[in-house]
Amino acid sequence: LENAAAFGKTEIEFKAGEDSIPIQIDSIAPDLVMADISEMLMKWDDLTIEKQVGQGAFGKVYSAIYKGKRVAVKQIEVEANMKAEAYREFRREVALCAELQNPAIVALYGVCLDPWCLALEFMPHGDLYTFLKDKTNRITWKMRITMAQNIAEAIRFLHSFQPKIIHRDLKSPNCLMASIDPNAEYLVKVTDFGESRAVATSYTGRDRLHNPVWLAPEIMKKEQYTEKADVFSFGIIMWELVGREKPFDEYEIARSSFTYQLEDEIIGGLRPTIPKDKICPPAYVQLMESCWNSDPKARPQFEEICKQINRLRESLPTEMAESE
């Protein structure tokens, strides 16, 4: 059934003796053709494609107009021999995104099955990683705190589900800029839940998580891990908000073509250092360091992280809030 749905079939032939009876897939397995979220299903012709704005291992991203609104269309492209497995992942991501209704998370507006694509909330200013690295962008401490608060709110929401949902691939390239207005409530929104997993207690397995820069040590060590893996990743992003470079690039080993060497150092306790020319609130540094603690149990929950960021925002002197 899953193979048939993956290749766009809506019915199968059921053999009963010498007779063949056509059966609609949605009548026996509605989830396979996403009939359970029929209100989100759309046709490719419903979209007015404007231009390609990105490309990744999964396929292409376009800007488009859907129901009078600009959206980002993430089109999934896979080889035929990988289609059944890819369709399973696609369905799982769609089902998850359809549930994740939160202002700090990029919204899903529609799903197309031919070709496979997601119509997502359009983020006009690119990703956080690129935004931070562009030194012409002025980023005040007020903005840094808002960005950290937005990301923490999104992951706190994920972890509030039962069972908890772990993002697993939390990193600045998966955080998109919703606004560049320093006074905006939401500057950043979290996206890309292709690697997310619902976990009752703990999870083992690295799957396609290859980049060690944002990855928790326990995942690298192939140990069981919990939602605290996301907390480690968040600690690294907190450093990025200050350092505005790729994490660990200050170390020569980060430029090695053998990523396992960097992994070994991170497992051993290597962390990015705060640039000497940056003045950081002590509470910010303390929170960051507690998040990237090697011991997952010593890391705070996102409920506590959100509280600490709020306290930091309230206690930040006006002069520092407006400074870089």
List the structure tokens of 85. 């497995």
List the structure tokens of 222. 């192939």
Pairing of strands 164-166, 175-177: unpaired
Using an 8 Å Cβ cutoff, are 142 and 322 in contact? yes
Element (DSSP H or E) covering residue 109: strand 108-113
Bridge partners for 21 per DSSP: 14
Burial 135-162 (b: 16+ CB within 10 A, else e): eeeebebbbbbbbbbbbbbbbbbbbeee
State yes or no: is 169 an active-site residue: yes
Please state, in angstroms and rounded to a whole number, the distance separating the CA atoms of residues 274 and 179.
26
Q: How far is CA 104 from CA 51, 107, 153, 181, in A?
A: 26, 9, 7, 16
- Alpha-carbon radius of gyration of the chain: 22
- Binding residue numbers for ATP: 74
Please state, in angstroms and rounded to a whole number, the distance separating the CA atoms of residues 134 and 2.
45
Pick the catalytic residue: 127, 169, 192, 230?
169
- Binding residue numbers: 74
Q: In the chain, what is the straight-line distance between the N-terminal and C-terminal CA atoms, in Å? A: 56
CA-nearest of 211, 103, 192 to 150 is 103
Active site (catalytic) residues: 169
